Structure 1
Amino acid sequence: MPDAAVAKIIVTGASGNVGSALLRRLAQWPEPPEITGVARRIPPARGPYSSARWCRVDLAEPESYGVLRRLMSGADAVVHLAWGFQPSHRREYLRRTAVEGTRAVYSAAADAGVPHVLHMSSGAAYSPGSYGRPVDESWPTKGIPGCAYSVDKVAAERVLDELSGVPGAPDLLRLRPGFIGQYAAGSGLARYVLPDAVPSAITRHVPVLPVDRRLTIPAVHADDVAAAIDSALRRRAVGAVNLASPVPVGAEDFAAPFGCSTVHVPARLLSAVADAGWHARLQPVQGGWVDLAYATPMLGCERASAVLGWAPRHSGPAVWAETIAGMRARGGTCSPVLRARTARELLAVLVGRGPIGRRIPP
């Protein structure tokens, strides 16, 4: 049974990948809590999104603190999931969302007297030096300098170091997962990794996949992350906790869902090619993401087991295969973040508002 004190929860980024899984999970509580979902784009009140009331907030905007402060009055916990992956060419906007948005969320929670904050960090915050080998939560968190996502995850953690280190600050849990996937994330992932106006159906016709054979990516299913959050809310867990399957995604696992063979290409070359394509506005993936894939260590999850009683139900390769299946089949939800778009819709947005790497969603 949930702790009786956990009756009101604020969830930022509640319409996204993990947020959708968490809403499904919380709806299964015998006495579901009152949930306020915070998002930049409000989803229709269908499926998992019907269990929350919603507030539109752009964490990149200075006024977000005041709105959050009012929302959080009387809340028992805040789950901070909100993050931005695009527009990758609007670096200042993404950093405001990630770093200043985290500052606004935790500061508002502290000033509203919220006792417990759960922050979604990432294994991407860890420093390189243990590739393919598991690290625990004491491993340095200096990130991968060439990856903007990693840099911002580190900066957000430093903000939390500052704000949580004062008397009376809310209890803080930092979750550090690997790649998070599920079927419903497929359409969203396709928009982030495929060139604009290229339909996801192209993934059915991949003849060969260039990949460095050293590839070892920690991964975890969104439902397993939601289960960890569920337990953390019940137990009011604090500190840092890694989340990943003990079985990573290797090079052959990466190619398997595409039904194609692999060809070995050094990671450094893959990064350079991706970066060139990104700078030329030909595709939305910066080379730093490739750097991250070949620098993030495996994640030891002994603390998740001890503190949360957590064990993943899905293996890394299964998570990857399910996510790619969702990409190929245009899997998603009715959320603006996860909703599938037709090729016509993608082209209309491209013509009307520009490429995903530059446009800020309304």
Structure 2
Amino acid sequence: MDTHQLISNMMLRNFYSVMVITTTCVSVVVFPVISNAAGAPKKKSAPAILVFGDSIVDPGNNNHVATIVKCDFPPYGRDFVGAKPTGRFCNGKVPSDFAANILGLKELVPAYLDPTLTLQDLATGVSFASGGSGYDPLTARIVSVLSLSDQVELFKEYLNKIRQGMGEEAAATIISQSAYLICVGSDDIANTYFSTPTRRLHYDINAYTDLMARYASTFYEELYRIGARRIGVLSLPPIGCLPSQRTSGGGPNRSCSNSSNQAAQLFNSKLSAVLDSLSKTHPDALFVYLDVYNRLTSIIHNPIRYGFEVVVKGCCGTGTIEASILCTSVSDSHTCKDASKYLFWDSYHPSEKGYGILSDMVINEFAARFM
């Protein structure tokens, strides 16, 4: 299936509130390099970076998908180069951009569906991620975005372009030596499970996280079968502490939602076990579990230490509910003037500063393992 067929087959289904169409999880892949995420590119340590997942690492694929899960309008991109709303769910760069810079590849990771991409853009890496996606295929279907299976099909199409443009040998190198970054899963918990009744009718949270883990294992096995060997996988964050989840499930004081956080921790334990199992089954590959949950929790509990003044609401609008189609130019009269003071840009997604700090924390802790 080519790109146009894939996109044309996706129909807009149900309109949900923005609280159930976006996701939060922070991500960075780590390989043999130690760096400051905001610093200059270091020596190239991978031929390309290939990204899969959700809105945290979607640099604009959803601009080309028939869905309401979009952000290609102000004030998104307010602090991006040229103040351009690219489709990144942030005021500036997202984790995949920081990772590409740290790997010495480029400043920004483009969306694969961007029709202006050159062969060189493809050769150094792209993102197939789609805001609103999840491990559970139902998650993507609910809001008509690219599922992980769709993203894998686009990846195969990408590889054919690389083979045709650069030859089999170059393609083989890119497949086996690239850094694979995966950030997905928060929408499954926050949206598909807790915000719609579809899965709760048949699964308790333990059974549902088992289902997520099975889909996760299948996805990583498929990447391995295609040839991926260096895979960094992000854990879920403390979902219940996201501003929108505080609003919807945190009571009158907007505390963190314990049920969402407990669900995230439960899945994280299963994801870690899946990656450990894959590492034993495929000793020629690197499956790295990256703990985001505890790092984001640390920032939330110690904001001043990390240079933040506000961690319970986002910068956009009131910061309590706005995200995607609710975070627009209409919100500007309430939007903060300096996003660097805020851990979150909107009610679901960290600010560029938040992403930079989180990315740097993960890299510095894990990179030493691969020196």
TM-score bracket for the superposition, by shorter chain length: 0.3 to 0.5
More helix by share: 2
TM-score (norm 2): 0.38
